[in-house]
């Protein structure tokens, strides 16, 4: 079966330390066979020079913000790398890391990798790593979205802002299940950031939380009994069709009727990753659990709707 | 595609989930795909009835979505279904709509077509 190359995205607001983090990570021998795509917002691209590694597997996409102007260019650049790899013109990289510009909305980048008819047969989405500047925090809408979609959060410049408990609390409220690392105090290995999503999702799915953060809120739903996978698909596709822009993140493990082991689902706005059939349950708890990070949607409405779609066999339960 | 039954292996939508290592899918063999498609039509129909729409399988490769007056279109998968349903009916298909939820919960007398 084809070996799919993982594509990891490093995102984070302007000046939040993406390139510095990438520079540190590339020193890790575990990333020795990694290709890098860098996108910058500005007339002159500098980040690839700062990275200190200019070779044929480092590609700069200089024409502005990745999310709004060069989705086609991103697909073309990745396809070009793939083609060169197949022809032996570049080393056979086994991972691709995309560093987005600080202003980029991560969704179109992820969507490009998953939806492109060529790319989706050779690449798969890996983790999204978001850097957050401890000095400047989060504020702008782009920054909130980057935090919401993260699989790993990296707090940078904590040596310059030692008292960042408030910021950490805000991050935990916005994205409760993403592991939070501190770049200044911790040595961060590539595996900490790029190991596949489902492993961390399973470990870290929160027991319970409700965290109003302006219009953006995160909450977890739990329900007992095996659910009908197809009916769940009907519900989620319908929800994302109408409200995808406001579902910043949906993620969870499901007890699916007819399957002994759980299924992990993971979506960002309109995009849902291929569901992962997990090898085993993470613990004794057999309830399905779903985490939502939504902007302006009501928890009660989502919960009631899901219950109505799934019907009587599945009882919603407070997640303890 | 199977030349006899016309079943495709899935077009890459997450609800179809083409076979990949570790991916959950019910598209493993032709029989399972057929069974899943029938189940999918039945599940979607539970909701589409509210909008006066019907869904049927078409050659195991697409679905036909139709209004009560016969206006029809082809859809590839569940993700495409809802935008097509909205176009055909000219109204939003919102799973959070309290009227739809009431209807699904059993009060189906007030089914929807405004």
- pLDDT tens digits for A7-29? 999 998 888 888 888 888 888 88
Contacts of A239 in chain B (CB under 8 A): 95-96
Rounded to the nearest angstrom, the minimum Cα separation between B85 and chain A is 10
> Nearest by CB to A275, which of B17, B46, B105?
B17
> Minimal Cα distance from A280: which residue of B?
B22
Q: Do A123 and A73 share a domain, yes or no?
A: yes
In angstroms, the CA A2 to CA A125 distance is 15
Burial class (CB in 10 A: 0-12, 13-18, 19+), A113: buried
Distance CA(A145)–CA(A251), nearest Å, equals 15
| Position A133 in a domain | yes
Min Cα–Cα distance to chain B from A236, Å: 9
With a threshold of 0.90, tell me whether the complex ipTM lies above it.
no
pLDDT in tens, chain B (114 residues): 333 434 444 456 788 766 666 677 777 777 888 888 899 999 999 999 999 999 999 988 889 999 999 999 999 888 889 999 999 999 999 999 999 999 998 855 444 544
- Flag whether residue A237 sits within 8 Å of chain B, measured between CB atoms: yes
Does any domain span residue A18?
Answer: yes
Integer-rounded Cα Rg, in Å, for chain A is 20
Of A150, A170, A195, which closes a domain? Answer: A195
| Domain range for A281 | 210-317
CA distance A212 to chain B (A): 20
Chain B neighbors of A226, CB-CB under 8 A: none
* pLDDT of A120 above 60: yes
Q: Are A26 and A51 in contact (CB under 8 A)?
A: yes
What integer pLDDT is reported at residue B89 of this predicted model? 95
**Together in a domain, A186 and A235:** no
Domain-embedded: residue A202: no
* Mean of all residue pLDDT scores within chain A: 79
Interval A245-260: pLDDT, tens: 889 889 888 999 888 8
Same-domain pairing of A73 and A178: yes
pLDDT at B33: 81
pLDDT at residue B110, as a whole number: 46
Within a domain: A201: no
Question: Is A113 in contact with A88 (CB distance < 8 Å)?
Answer: no
* CB contact (8 A) between residue A238 and residue B93: yes
pLDDT confidence of A203, banded at 50, 70, 90?
very low
Token code pair at residue A136: 């400047």
Give the domain CATH number at A277.
3.30.1220.10
Tally of CA atoms within 13 A in the half-sphere of B83 that contains its CB: 10
Helix H or strand E segment including B42: helix B30-48
Give the model's pLDDT for residue B12.
Answer: 65
Instruction: Considering only the beta carbons, identify the residue of B12, B21, B81 that sits closest to A120.
Output: B12
Spatial distance between the Cα atoms of A249 and A127, rounded to a whole number of angstroms: 13
Cα–chain center distance at A165: 23
At A202, the pLDDT band (50, 70, 90 cuts) reads very low
Distance, in Å, from the CA atom of A22 to the CA atom of A95, rounded to the nearest integer, reads: 13
Residues A12 and A42 in one domain: yes
Tell me: do A242 and A128 sit in the same domain. Answer: no
Tell me, yes or no, whether A216 and A185 share the same domain. no
**Torsion of Cα atoms, A63 then A101 then A73 then B81, to 10°:** -140
Domain identity same for A135 and A56: yes
Interface-testing mutation among B22, B28, B36, B63, with chain A (most A C-beta atoms within 10 A): B22
Q: Which of A139, A166, A195 is the last residue of a domain?
A: A195
> What's the total number of domains in chain A?
2
How far is B45 from chain A, CA to nearest CA, in Å?
Answer: 10
pTM exceeds cut of 0.90? no
Instruction: Give domain status of residue A42, yes or no.
Output: yes
- Residue A203 in any domain: the answer is no
Mark which of A167, A195, A223 sits at the end of a domain: A195
What pLDDT digit, counting tens, does each position of A35-80 carry?
A: 888 876 444 444 554 444 445 556 655 544 444 444 677 888 889 8
- In the structure, what pLDDT confidence band is assigned to residue A216 with cuts at 50, 70 and 90? confident
């Amino acid at each position: 079966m084809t070996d799919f190359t993982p594509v990891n995205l490093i995102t984070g607001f302007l000046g939040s330390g993406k390139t510095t983090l990438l520079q540190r990570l590339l020193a890790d021998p575990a990333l020795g066979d990694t290709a890098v795509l860098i996108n910058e917002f500005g007339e002159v691209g500098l980040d690839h020079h700062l990275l200190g590694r200019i070779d044929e597997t480092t590609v700069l996409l200089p024409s502005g913000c990745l999310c709004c102007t060069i989705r086609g260019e991103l697909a073309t650049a990745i396809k070009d790398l793939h083609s060169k790899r197949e022809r032996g013109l570049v080393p056979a990289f086994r991972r691709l890391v995309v560093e987005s510009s600080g202003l980029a909305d991560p969704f179109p980048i992820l969507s490009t990798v998953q939806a492109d008819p060529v790319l989706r047969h050779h690449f798969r989405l890996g983790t999204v790593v978001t850097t957050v500047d401890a000095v400047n925090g989060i504020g702008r809408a782009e920054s909130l979205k980057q935090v919401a979609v993260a699989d790993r959060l990296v707090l940078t410049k904590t040596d310059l802002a030692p008292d960042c408990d408030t910021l950490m609390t805000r991050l935990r409220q916005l994205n409760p299940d993403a592991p939070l690392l501190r770049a200044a105090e911790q040595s961060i290995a590539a595996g900490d950031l790029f190991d596949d999503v489902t492993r961390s999702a399973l470990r870290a799915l929160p027991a319970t939380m409700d965290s109003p953060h302006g219009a953006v809120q995160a909450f977890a739903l739990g329900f007992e009994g095996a659910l009908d996978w197809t009916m769940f698909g009907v519900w989620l596709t319908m929800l994302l069709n109408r409200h995808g822009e406001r579902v910043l993140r949906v993620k969870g493990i499901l007890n699916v009727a007819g399957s002994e082991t759980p299924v992990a689902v993971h979506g960002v706005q309109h995009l849902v990753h291929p569901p992962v059939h997990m090898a085993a349950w993470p613990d004794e708890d057999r309830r399905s659990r779903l985490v939502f990070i939504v902007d302006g949607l009501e928890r009660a409405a989502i919960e009631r709707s899901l219950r109505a779609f799934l019907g009587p066999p599945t009882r919603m339960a407070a997640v303890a | 595609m199977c030349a006899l039954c016309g079943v495709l292996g899935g077009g890459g939508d997450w609800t179809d989930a083409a076979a990949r290592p570790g991916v959950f899918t019910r598209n493993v063999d032709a029989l399972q795909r057929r069974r899943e498609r029938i189940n999918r039509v039945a599940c979607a129909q539970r909701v589409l009835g509210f909008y006066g729409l019907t869904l049927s399988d078409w050659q195991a490769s697409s679905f036909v979505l139709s209004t009560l007056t016969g206006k029809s279109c082809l859809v590839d998968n569940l993700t495409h279904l809802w935008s097509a349903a909205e176009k055909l009916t000219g109204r939003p298909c919102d799973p959070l709509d309290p009227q739809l939820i009431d209807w699904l919960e059993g009060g189906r007398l007030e089914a929807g077509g405004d």
